[in-house]
Amino acid sequence: MTKLWGGRFSQSTDALVNHFNASIEFDQRLWKHDILGSIAHVRMLGKTGIIDAADAQTIEQGLVDVRRDLEAGVSEFTEEAEDVHMNIETLLHAKIGPVAGKLHTGRSRNDQVATDIRLWLRDELGEIRMAVRRVQTRLIDLAERNIDIILPGMTHMQHAQPVRLAHQLMAYFWMLDRDAGRLAAAWDRADVLPLGSGALAGTTHPIDREFVASELGFSRISENSMDAVSDRDFAVETIAALSLVMMHLSRFSEELILWNNPEFGWVTMGDNVTTGSSIMPQKKNPDVSELIRGKAGRVYGNLVSLLTVLKGLPLAYNKDLQEDKEPLFDSVDTARICLDVLGVLLDNVTFHGDRMMEALRGDFSTATDLADFLVRQGLPFRQAHEVVGQIVKFCIQSGRPLEQLTNPELSEFSELFSQAPADLAGVLQSVDARNIPGGTARAAVEIQIEHAKAAIAHHTG
C-alpha cells in the first residue's frame, strides 16, 4: 500500500511487515487523547500563523467530527494505517481533504505519541488514586466496626503478641497511603509536555509550546527535545508504583486466604465473592484473593519488561519504544480491577472475633508482658527474658496455659511477681497496655483511625 508519508519508497510495505510493525491493536485506546493533543496543536498553528487561521479552524472541526464518529462507532481503525496517529489522520483526510496534511506541521509521531501517553496516563493515575482511596475508606470502616476484636499478631507465622484486628487492618491503610503518594509522584512526572520536540531536534517553525501546554493542562514543558521523545521514565515509575500497590494487595490477600481456611476460621467470605469447585461440592474458594495474589507477578513482569526494553536504547527515539504501551496499559488495567474487586470483597467479609480470641488461649502470646513487668520492677530485660522463658517451658511441660498461673506460682520463678496484678497475662490487659502512638491499645487505635480520616480528607478535599 502507499503510505501518507511514503514518497521515499518505491515499493509498498510487505503485508507481514506491516502487520508486525502495526500498533493499532493496542494503541487505539489513546485515540481520544491523540485528538485532544491534535486540537491543541492545530489551535497553536493557527494562533501563531504557521498555517492559515481558516485552515486551522477547518482542521479543528474535522477532528471534532472524527471524534464524534468514533464515539458513535461510525468509523473504524485499520491495520493498514499502522497506528492510532495515522488512523486519525487518515479519517481526518477523508473528512476534509488534503488540508488535513497541514495538521502535522511542526510535530513528529515521536513527540506526538509521547504526549498521548502522558495525557492518557494522567487520567488513569487519577482514577487509580481514587480506587486506592476507596479501599482505604473501606479499611477505616472495617477497623471502626471491629475495633474490639483481638487476634494473635504474628511474626514468622507464629503467634507473637495479641493485637486488635483494627490495628492490623490499619497497617494496610498506611501501606496504601504510601502507594497513593507514589502514584501522585508518578502523575507529577507525567505532567510534562513533550510536544514541540519534533522527531528529536525540535522544529524550525515558531511554535508556542507554552500555549499548547496550557491548552492541555500540563504544568510545564520538556527542556530537552532528545530526552523528551525517548523518555519513558514516567512509565517505569508508574509501573513500579503499581508493583508496590499489587505487592500490598497480595500480602493482604494472602492473610485473607489463610484466615478463610477452616483451620483458622477467622473470616467468612460472602457467596458472591467466592466460587465453587467443579468436582468437590463442599468447596468455597477464595478466588478473588488468589487472583489478586497471582496478578501481582504479572505487574512485576511488566516492570522488568519495560526496563529491559529501555536499558540499551541509544538516543533518541527507537521503534523499540512501541513496546512501552502494552506493559503500561496492562499494569494500569490490572491494578485498577484488583483495587476495585478487593473493595467488593471487603464489603462482603465477616470477621469472627470468637475464633480469633479462642486462638489466643494458651498460645503464650502475652509472655512479653511478664518480662516487661519484671523490667518495671528493676530486673534487666535479658534476665527477665530468661525468667519468663523458664515459665513458658514449665507451662508446656505441665500442660498449663500461661494466663492460668497464679501469683504464688509465678513467684517461684521470681519474687518480683508477688506484687503482680492478677490479669498480668490477660489478652485485653496486654493489648491495652500498649497505649503509645502507633500502638494497639484501643485509645491508640482510635487516634490512628482519626489520623487516617484526616489523611483521606486532605487528599480528597
pLDDT tens profile 114-166: 999 999 999 999 999 999 999 999 999 999 999 999 999 999 999 999 999 99
The stretch 170-198 carries a mean pLDDT of 98
Topology, domain 110-149+164-197+223-358? Fumarase C; Chain A, domain 2 (1.20.200)
Report which DSSP code applies to 433: T
The stretch 423-452 carries a mean pLDDT of 96
Whole-model pTM: value is 0.95
Topology, domain 15-105? Fumarase C; Chain B, domain 1 (1.10.275)
Topology, domain 359-451? Ribonucleotide Reductase Protein R1; domain 1 (1.10.40)
Contact 402, 392 (CB under 8 A): yes
Residues classed as catalytic: 156, 277
More confident residue, 95 or 12: 95
What value does the mean pLDDT of the chain take? 96
The pLDDT of residue 167 is 98
CB neighbours (10 Å) of residue 268? 16
The stretch 210-226 carries a mean pLDDT of 98
- Banded model confidence at residue 378, pLDDT cuts 50, 70, 90: very high
Cα–Cα dist 118/58, whole Å: 26
The stretch 365-377 carries a mean pLDDT of 96
Fold agreement (110-149+164-197+223-358, 359-451): no
Please provide the distance, in angstroms rounded to a whole number, between the alpha carbons at the two ends of the chain.
54
The whole-angstrom distance between residue 73's C-alpha and the CA centroid of its chain comes to: 32
The stretch 16-20 carries a mean pLDDT of 93
The pLDDT of residue 1 is 38
Tens of pLDDT, residue by residue over 281-323, are: 888 999 999 999 999 999 999 999 999 999 999 999 999 999 9
The pLDDT of residue 13 is 85
The pLDDT of residue 10 is 82
- What does the domain layout of the chain look like in residue ranges? 15-105, 110-149+164-197+223-358, 359-451
- Banded model confidence at residue 9, pLDDT cuts 50, 70, 90: confident
pLDDT surpassing 60 at residue 5 = no
